[in-house]
Structure 1
């Protein structure tokens, strides 16, 4: 499903359960050695998806270890992202992207009080103007997760929920305008991202893929 909102030059793989053939490299095993079962299953299947996606690019299976702030460490020249939620795991990778961000969430309202903590007042007002059978609050959270995943490999620093203003188009796209100074990317200041969103089969998902231009 995630491939429906990714460009053709991004490879992806997804799973709706935790297949028994999903295994970890010893280095990855060490990361989750003391993790609870749920965390271990998510971690293992997400890495399984990532290696499948890398295989689509003709790349061999390698350990994908969490780096700074938990971001996956990809092979040289690869941009990618991982997501998981109840009943879904996915990975997206590309040799042509500068950065990639993906997120999946259950298509349910955010828990009480969470929206105020992850959004701007202007965003909350804009959500009230949107129609349709979409939990826009959860979609906003997902979009901000994708924004952060796309931002971090370029900036190598934290981005708060309140430091990007996300606007949705009901047709299935969104824009994120950065409210803080971004890094120079290919010689120009990074000012925001364009993304796509999808609601299907009880899930909502968002994706950002910024191509290299040089």
Structure 2
């Protein structure tokens, strides 16, 4: 599913269901030595996907340890992202001379818990979601908004090294796509990005979103 949302320059891998804990590099294993079983499954399944995605990109697998703010530390010359939720693990990678960054997120296709939407959205976004829900009530737009903002942050952080709050990106959706207007630009050498675009799908009980910055 995730590769449907990625550009041709990226490689992805995913696992469905609740897979058994995959084999890790010793350095990775050390990072979850004291974790509960649920966290170990999430971490190892995500790393399994990351290793497979790197292979598809032609990069030999190596330990993917946690870096700043828990973000994966990728091999030199590679950008990437990992996501997991109940019943799903996924990863996407690309060479840094082809994509600046990439972010993906997976969520269960269900309504957000009561009160969460008000925390993660702007008033204009809530009005937009009400319009969308009137046209397509089968889609849980609140969960889609949350997922898209997670993907945006995952694409934003490797560029800036800074925090991006839920209120710092205003989203609008169209069929299979979304746009985020950024309250503060993502600055990288030689350019300044004021918006991100992404893609989304809702299928088989999941919501998936992806942002690729060229």
Bin for the TM-score computed over the shorter chain: over 0.9
* Partner Cα distance (2:35, 2:149) in 1: 26
* Partner Cα distance (2:94, 2:131) in 1: 35
Task: Tell me whether 1:163 sits opposite 2:165 in the alignment.
Answer: no
**Cα displacement (A) at 1:22:** 1.9
**Cα displacement (A) at 1:182:** 2.8
Give 3-state SS (helix, strand or coil) of 1:55's partner: helix
Aligned equivalent of 1:117: 119
**Cα displacement (A) at 1:20:** 4.6
Give 3-state SS (helix, strand or coil) of 1:182's partner: strand
RMSD: 1.1
* Partner Cα distance (1:172, 1:18) in 2: 27
Task: Tell me whether 1:145 sits opposite 2:145 in the alignment.
Answer: no
Aligned equivalent of 1:199: 202
Q: Counterparts in 2 of 1:1-214, with a 5 A limit? A: 1-20=1-20, 22-95=22-95, 96-130=98-132, 131-132=135-136, 133-169=138-174, 171-183=175-187, 185-211=188-214
In structure 1, list runs of 5 or more residues that go unmatched. none
Give 3-state SS (helix, strand or coil) of 1:8's partner: coil
* Partner Cα distance (1:25, 1:18) in 2: 20
C-alpha offsets along residues 50-109 of structure 1, whole Å, 9 cap, x if unaligned? Answer: 000000011111111111111111001111100000000000001121100000000000
* Partner Cα distance (1:40, 1:160) in 2: 28
Give 3-state SS (helix, strand or coil) of 1:63's partner: coil
* Partner Cα distance (1:58, 1:6) in 2: 17
* Partner Cα distance (1:179, 1:128) in 2: 23
Give 3-state SS (helix, strand or coil) of 1:197's partner: strand
Give 3-state SS (helix, strand or coil) of 1:122's partner: helix
In structure 2, list runs of 5 or more residues that go unmatched. none
**Cα displacement (A) at 1:209:** 0.9
**Cα displacement (A) at 1:32:** 0.6
Give 3-state SS (helix, strand or coil) of 1:97's partner: coil
* Partner Cα distance (1:43, 1:17) in 2: 14
* Partner Cα distance (1:200, 1:68) in 2: 32
2:21–2:45 contact (8 Å) kept in structure 1:
no
